[in-house]
Structure 1
Amino acid sequence: MMMFIRAEREGDWPLHLEAFTLMMPYFYAAGHVHYAGHGLFYLRSMEALPTKVLDLFMKGEHVLRHIPGIWNGIWSDMYIETTFMRYGHGKGGIIGITLKPETLKIWALSLHLCSKLESNLSEMVDGDRGNVQIIHKEKAQARISSDRKDREGI
């Protein structure tokens, strides 16, 4: 499982396939017949990818990232969920409109468009100076300093 998480975080396609292959017996052993059956179909389908798609996946484009950089690739379903959580609970989000079904429906159906527009505008204003994660957040100086203070009781 840890190998699979690493593969996703790093955007490592060959490691993704190897880890998934190694997880298959556990699906069967745990009685998860749907995961097992669909997992096998998934593996066979991924082995037959068109060259153009395979090239993109080998570059790490099978995962999504909120911030460009290292060790921050996430699964598409997690990306969608975190995007909705990020923008949905912010200013102008879902809080306060949940009792109005029609308003909630419009908000939910247009959120992804509004979020993309906001992201594009921020990129235009900031240019290429946007956030790029070059080290894992746990290795950042602020995190190391605060961890040291916690351990030493400072």
Structure 2
Amino acid sequence: MQSSGLYELLENIYASNTIEHMMSGKSVSRTVRGHSIIDCALYIMLLSKMIDVSLLGIEGRTDENVNEVNAEDKEVIGTSSTEQNKSSLKAKFESALQTFLEILHNKTSFENIQNHENVEEIYQSIKNEFERLSKYPTAKLWIQYMDIIKILKLFIKAERTGDWFLHLHAVHEMLPFFAATGHNLYLKSAYCYLQQMQTLETEYPDMYSKFCEGYHVVRRSNRYWAGISTDLAIEQTLMRSVKTSGGMTRGKGMTEVQRAKWLLSMPACSGINSAMQTVENLQYTTSEQHKESTRERQQRCIDYSFVST
């Protein structure tokens, strides 16, 4: 995505120095959030063209550059649907949205939107639009970007919900992108991992049944979206309790004696850390509502999505 404008899009949300950390993989949470907002903005632009709804805030910038848009670009931006098809699709969106709002207010069940007659037609319309736009290089680039973000969201969902089959599906979908971006070690490891997991049912049936029940992730609470990977669980528990200022790599050295002292003192440090938390009446708890579900965070995402468009 170099020279694609992705960096400039993120500058509408984050500072330049922050983006450098995001692009290098050092700020994972901000990276996931930033890419999710851009993905949402791209879908907003696509759907607004499909149902012929203008976006407030981009009309001015579009009018300024209208003379610079050539005939081919106009064909890319426009849709092949007739006015009648646009009106019909817009009505289907409104009907599906009404059902979705009823779910948010607990007036109906989630199964209703899955069985909604208009949802499949809307999905097929979006899929057809993607196929039409894929004929153009720039549009195809951003569609591939949206596919990558979709895989990322599937993987996060699989880890958070403990869905074993979705986890394997997401890893499988990552393989072509690992190869295309030159991450050969990730590609090799993921490929070997999938091969081993495919034989898990026959070689280790007990473990396979546990994984199918969601035990391939660790849960520190009984909430639906509370699953985390095992390495992350270690970071949040053991490594957090033994964390020291500077660690081994900043000033303390890496000699054999220092490594042995650090490793052998880890159990004692963990016990002392837990005892001090008990004395100070401190504990790690989770709130009733995820911070991403708060009204302020949702409104901020909406504002950033329209800024990105």
Please say which structure displays the higher CA radius of gyration: 2
Distance 1:28 1:112 in 2: 41
Counterpart check, 1:61 vs 2:212:
no
Query: How far apart in 1 are the matches of 2:209 and 2:268?
Result: 28
**Structure 2 unmatched runs, 5+:** 1-151, 279-284, 301-309
Q: Give the C-alpha shift of residue 132 in structure 1.
A: 7.5
Q: CA RMSD in A?
A: 3.6
- The residue identity in structure 2 corresponding to 1:79 is A
Cα deviation per residue 1:78-122 (whole Å; 9 max; x = unaligned)?
Answer: 222222453235xxxx24997777688545445367648959xx8
Equivalent in 25, 32, 48 of residue 183 of structure 2: 32
* Number of corresponding residues: 132
The residue aligned with 2:124 is none
Flag structure 1 segments of 5+ consecutive residues without an equivalent.
123-130
Residue 196 of structure 2: which of 45, 48, 64 is its match?
45
Normalising by structure 1, what TM-score? 0.64
Shift of 1:65: 2.6
- TM-score, normalisation: structure 2: 0.35
Partners of 1:21 and 1:107 in 2: CA distance:
39
Paired residue type of 1:9: R
Per-residue deviation at 1:37? 1.5
Greater RCO (Cα-Cα under 8 Å, separation 6 or more): 1
Aligned residues of 1:13 and 1:57 also touching (Cα < 8 A)? yes
Against the structure 1 CA distance between its residues 13 and 133, is the aligned structure 2 distance closer, same or farther, given a 3 Å change threshold? Answer: farther
Distance in 2 of aligned mates of 1:48 and 1:133 = 39
Query: Do the aligned partners of residues 26 and 100 (structure 1) sit closer, same or farther apart at CA in structure 2, a change above 3 Å counting?
Result: closer
Per-residue displacement from partner, 1:100-148 (whole Å, max 9, x unpaired)?
Answer: 77688545445367648959xx8xxxxxxxx687764433xxx44xx28
Q: Is the 8 A contact 2:161 2:214 kept in 1?
A: yes
